[in-house]
Amino acid sequence: MFVLCALAGLLVVVTLVDVVYELANNARPSIARNGLGFLLHTQWNPNFNREGAGALIFGTLVSSGLATLLATPLGVAIGLYLAMMAPPRVRATVGPLVEMLAAVPSIIYGFWGLVVLVPFVERLEPGLHGALGFIPLFGRPATIGISMLSAVIVLTVMILPIISALTRDLFLTVPRELTDGAEALGATRWEVIRGIVLPSTASGVGAAVVLGLGRALGEAIAVSFVIGDVNAIHASLFAPAATGAERIANQFQGALNAQHLASLFYVGLILVVIGMLTSLAARAIAGRFDVNRAVGATV
Amino acid sequence: MSSAASQLVLGESGLFDPTAPLTASGNLRRRGVISVIVTVTATAAALAAVAILAIVVYDVLQRGISSLSVGFVFQNPSGLAGGGIFNYVLGTAEVVGLGAAVALPLGVLTGIYLTEFAGRRSRTAGVIKLALDMMQGLPTIIVGLFVYGLIVIPQRRQSGLAASIALAIVMLPLMARSSQEVLLLVPNSLREAADALGVSRWRTVLTVILPAAMGGIVTGAILAIARAAGETAPVLIANSIFDPNAVSTNIFHGVPTIPMLIYSSVELPIPQAVARAWGAALVLMLFILIANVGARVILARSRGKMGR
Could you report the predicted ipTM of this complex, rounded to two decimals? 0.88
pLDDT value of residue B249: 82
Q: Are residues B159 and B26 in the same domain?
A: no
Verify whether the Cβ–Cβ distance B56 to A104 is below 8 Å: yes
- Please give the full DSSP string across B128-178, using - where no structure is assigned: HHHHHHHHHHS-HHHHHHHHIIIIIHHHTS--HHHHHHHHHHHHHHHHHHH
pLDDT value of residue B157: 87
- Residues 6+ positions from A63 with CB-CB distance below 8 Å: A148, A151, A152, A155, A216, A223, A227, A241, A243
- Which ranges of chain A does DSSP label H, i.e. alpha helix? 2-34, 54-80, 88-103, 106-112, 118-132, 148-172, 176-184, 189-192, 198-218, 221-226, 244-251, 258-289, 295-298
Domain termination residue (choose one: B12, B41, B65): B65
For B196, other C-beta atoms within 10 Å of its C-beta total: 8
Q: Are residues B50 and B199 in the same domain?
A: no
Residue A210 has pLDDT above 50, yes or no: yes
What percent of chain A has a predicted confidence (pLDDT) above 90?
A: 49
Give the span between the Cα atoms of B15 and A34, in whole angstroms.
Answer: 57
Q: Assign residue A68 the CATH number of its domain.
A: 1.10.3720.10
**pLDDT (tens digit per residue) in B200-223:** 888 999 999 999 899 899 999 999
Which one of A15, A19, A85 has the shortest CB-CB distance to B39?
A85
Verify whether the Cβ–Cβ distance B49 to A161 is below 8 Å: yes
Whole-number Cα distances in Å, A129 to A72, A147, A153, B197 = 25, 14, 17, 75
Instruction: Report the pLDDT averaged over residues A266-279.
Output: 91
pLDDT value of residue B16: 66
The number of residues in chain A equals 299
A271 shares contact with chain B (CB less than 8 Å): yes
The alpha carbon of residue A191 is apart from the nearest alpha carbon of chain B, in Å, by: 6
Which one of A8, A188, A252 has the shortest CB-CB distance to B31?
A188
Give the span between the Cα atoms of B253 and B279, in whole angstroms.
Answer: 26
For A88, other C-beta atoms within 10 Å of its C-beta total: 7
Residue B59 has pLDDT above 90, yes or no: yes
pLDDT value of residue A294: 45
Q: Which amino acid, residue B304?
A: G
Q: Are residues B198 and B94 in the same domain?
A: yes
pLDDT value of residue A118: 92
The alpha carbon of residue A236 is apart from the nearest alpha carbon of chain B, in Å, by: 25
Q: Are residues B128 and B215 in the same domain?
A: yes
Of the pLDDT bands very low, low, confident and very high (cuts 50, 70, 90), residue B291 is: very high
- State chain A's mean pLDDT as an integer: 88
- The least confident of A243-247, B2-6, B9-13, B135-139 is B2-6
The alpha carbon of residue A116 is apart from the nearest alpha carbon of chain B, in Å, by: 8
Q: Are residues B158 and B214 in the same domain?
A: yes
- Residues A140-175 as b or e (16 or more Cβ within 10 Å = b): ebbbebbbbbbbbbbbbbbbbbbbbbbbbbbbebbe
Give the span between the Cα atoms of A214 and B20, in whole angstroms.
Answer: 46
Q: Which of residues 6-25 of B touch A (CB under 8 A)?
A: 6, 8-10
- Residues 6+ positions from B206 with CB-CB distance below 8 Å: A1
Residue B24 DSSP symbol:
-
A205 shares contact with chain B (CB less than 8 Å): no
Interface with B, mutate which of A1, A21, A80, A84 (most B CBs under 10 A): A1
Verify whether the Cβ–Cβ distance B139 to A220 is below 8 Å: yes
pLDDT value of residue A289: 56
**pLDDT (tens digit per residue) in B49-58:** 999 999 999 9
Which one of A15, A110, A116 has the shortest CB-CB distance to B169?
A15
Q: Are residues B57 and B87 in the same domain?
A: no
Q: Are residues B78 and B26 in the same domain?
A: no
Verify whether the Cβ–Cβ distance B42 to A81 is below 8 Å: yes
A180 shares contact with chain B (CB less than 8 Å): no
Number of compact structural domains in chain A? 1
pLDDT value of residue A263: 92
The alpha carbon of residue A297 is apart from the nearest alpha carbon of chain B, in Å, by: 7
Domain termination residue (choose one: B47, B65, B83): B65
Whole-number Cα distances in Å, A49 to A87, A258, B153, B193, B256 = 60, 10, 21, 68, 33
CB pairs under 8 A between A and B: 278
Domain containing A214: what range? 2-298
Of the pLDDT bands very low, low, confident and very high (cuts 50, 70, 90), residue B4 is: very low
Q: Are residues B101 and B193 in the same domain?
A: yes
**pLDDT (tens digit per residue) in B27-44:** 888 888 999 999 999 999
The alpha carbon of residue A88 is apart from the nearest alpha carbon of chain B, in Å, by: 14
Domain containing B28: what range? 4-65
Of the pLDDT bands very low, low, confident and very high (cuts 50, 70, 90), residue B267 is: confident
Q: Cβ(A138)–Cβ(A236) under 8 Å?
A: yes
The alpha carbon of residue A252 is apart from the nearest alpha carbon of chain B, in Å, by: 7
Three-state DSSP class for residue B77 = strand
Number of compact structural domains in chain B? 2
Domain termination residue (choose one: B12, B38, B65): B65
Instruction: Report the pLDDT averaged over residues A57-63.
Output: 94
Q: Which of residues 35-94 of A touch B (CB under 8 A)?
A: 74, 77-78, 80-82, 85-86, 94
Which carries the bigger pLDDT value, residue A131 or residue B177?
B177
Q: Are residues B203 and B60 in the same domain?
A: no
Phi, psi of A153 (to 5 degrees): -65, -45
B5 shares contact with chain A (CB less than 8 Å): yes
Which carries the bigger pLDDT value, residue B150 or residue B302?
B150
Q: Cβ(A174)–Cβ(A200) under 8 Å?
A: yes
